[in-house]
Amino acid sequence: MLDTVIIFVYILLALALILSFVRLAKGPSLPDRVVALELVASIVMGMIAVYTVDTGVDKFIDVAVVMALMAFLAAIGFARYLEKGGERDD
Amino acid sequence: MTEFLSTLSGLLVGFLLLLGAGFMVLAAVGILRLPDLPTRMHASTKAGALGASLTMLAVAFHLPEGAVVARALAVIVFILLTAPVAAHVIGRAGYFVGVPLWKGTVKDELKKHYDPESHSLESGFEGRRAESGADQPGR
């Protein structure tokens, strides 16, 4: 039963990934894209968690830790870049 | 007894996974459908963080060993710490950059405190202190 649920959850997460990727491609401004990118990172973390449940290999949680850290640093970096100004072409 | 418990934990794991994935789909729908940056962040930050936390909780219930549970809970705590900070920073940057708000926006309380030319932000208390000093000179 859990296998069926896992397949369904994979499908749901893929759908969420597609929807947020549409926003990432559409824009219209750079902060919108940064927000979409952060949501993509969170969805990928969810996928890693589902994959951990699927395979039973607990080492994948470390990948989720790194993913969370990267997403946070990327958000902070983008926001700093936006706030300090600089050339933008969104 | 153990079989019953494993069935129960399987049910719990499946439920948490479905709930987390459902919240993430909601966040993605919100980020696609909502009209401007703050409302999109409202959808993605809260629902996205909750979805990731719930799936991590499912991992903790699926593999109930000390190291795994500790790491899964650490990820949840990290998400809960960083999601609001990142949302605040991006929202602030977006407002400063001048991302247009939705045309149905009712309230923009920062507008009279923020100068887009000089990028300076007042707290709103500077004028009030001067006024109260002028009204009541004895204080």
Which ipTM score applies to this complex? 0.90
pLDDT tens across B74-127, in order? Answer: 999 999 999 999 999 998 888 888 788 888 888 887 777 777 777 777 776 766
Q: Measured between alpha carbons, how far is B95 from A30 in angstroms, rounded to an integer?
A: 12
Residue A42: predicted pLDDT:
94
Residue range A19-55, pLDDT digits in tens: 999 999 987 888 899 999 999 999 999 999 999 999 9
Q: For residues A71 and A68, what is the distance between their CA atoms, to the nearest angstrom?
A: 5
Identify the pLDDT of residue A89: 67
Q: Give B3→chain A minimum CA distance, Å.
A: 14
Q: What is the dihedral of CA A17, B41, B25, A20, to 10 degrees?
A: -20
Which pLDDT value is given to residue B26?
94
Mutate to test the interface with B, among A1, A4, A5 (most CBs of B within 10 A): A5
User: Would you call A84 an interface residue with chain B, using a CB distance cutoff of 8 Å?
Assistant: no
What DSSP state is assigned to residue B114?
A: E
Q: pLDDT exceeding 70 applies to what percent of chain A?
A: 94
The number of angstroms, rounded, from the C-alpha of B47 to the middle of its chain's C-alpha atoms is 8
pTM of the complete model: 0.86
Record: contact A68-B92, CB cut-off 8 A: no
Q: Judge whether residue B139 has pLDDT over 80.
A: no
Pick B99 or B32 by higher pLDDT.
B32
A5 confidence band (pLDDT: 50, 70, 90): very high
Residue B44 and residue A38 in contact, taking contact as beta carbons nearer than 8 Å: yes
d(CA A18, CA B46): 19
**Average of per-residue pLDDT values in chain B:** 85
Is pLDDT of A90 > 70?
A: no
Residue B138 pLDDT more than 50?
Answer: no
**What is the four-CA torsion angle of A79, A80, A83, A88, rounded to 10 degrees?**
-80
